[in-house]
Amino acid sequence: MTDRLARTRAAGVLAVLRAPSPEAAIDSAEAIIRGGVTGIEVTFSTPDAPAVIRELLQRHGDSIVVGAGTITTPEQAEASAEAGAEFLVSPGTLPALTQTMVDTGKVVMSGALTPTEVMAALQLGVDVVKIFPASLGGPAYLGALRGPFPDAPLMPTGGVKPTNLADWFAAGAVAVGAGGDLANSTAIARADWSELEQRAHHFAQALAAVRS
């Protein structure tokens, strides 16, 4: 049986990208990729997210792992899948939405925080449970969830930094989602691509250290 999460695991870090325009999203993603982070989650907070996904795939193909985030409607899930998104991420877990996401055949990551929510997500057949906002409990909370869910693929998002990356993976993360500390909104607003590249470089270095 092939590991559906092999490419997600290999990327390790997914940059949660929220940009004010498709152009800014593409430029931001390019800077992050140059910095060494190859997982890009284009959120629906970004105008025309499917077009951004399509463009990034046209430029980079299989050398990056691109998905769609902040999916809140079945239509968004379907549009993302049609654009070529490799994974689909929702901030929460609603049965009808999650079923649509699963039906696309893409890797599905849906949001949960409590043990009850984790159980609900797993019952609906998601590939990864996104623990959000993970900053509320930190790596210790992720580790605590490992007790009742030792084999569940968990991905913390929120509160992930290069300085605590090792702690998240030690607590059992399959991958991490990194927002403001990586795809920083102020840097994006300033079009400061060198800062984004530097932030990505710090994450890439931290990930390499975890794996060495």
Spatial separation of the C-alpha atoms in residues 32 and 141, rounded to whole Å: 28
Spatial separation of the C-alpha atoms in residues 82 and 7, rounded to whole Å: 19
The residue ranges of DSSP E strands in the chain, in sequence order, are: 13-17, 39-43, 65-69, 87-90, 107-112, 128-131, 154-156, 176-178
Task: For residue 103, report the phi and psi dihedrals to the nearest 5 degrees.
Answer: -65, -20
* 130 has catalytic annotation: yes
- With H, G, I as helix, E, B as strand and everything else as coil, classify residue 90: strand
* 106 has catalytic annotation: no
Spatial separation of the C-alpha atoms in residues 34 and 68, rounded to whole Å: 20
Spatial separation of the C-alpha atoms in residues 206 and 202, rounded to whole Å: 6
Spatial separation of the C-alpha atoms in residues 200 and 32, rounded to whole Å: 5
Q: Which of 106, 130, 161, 197 is catalytic?
A: 130
Q: Which of 41, 55, 86, 197 is catalytic?
A: 41
CA distances from 71 to 23, 86, 110, 155, 171 (A): 20, 14, 9, 16, 27
Please identify every residue annotated as catalytic: 41, 130
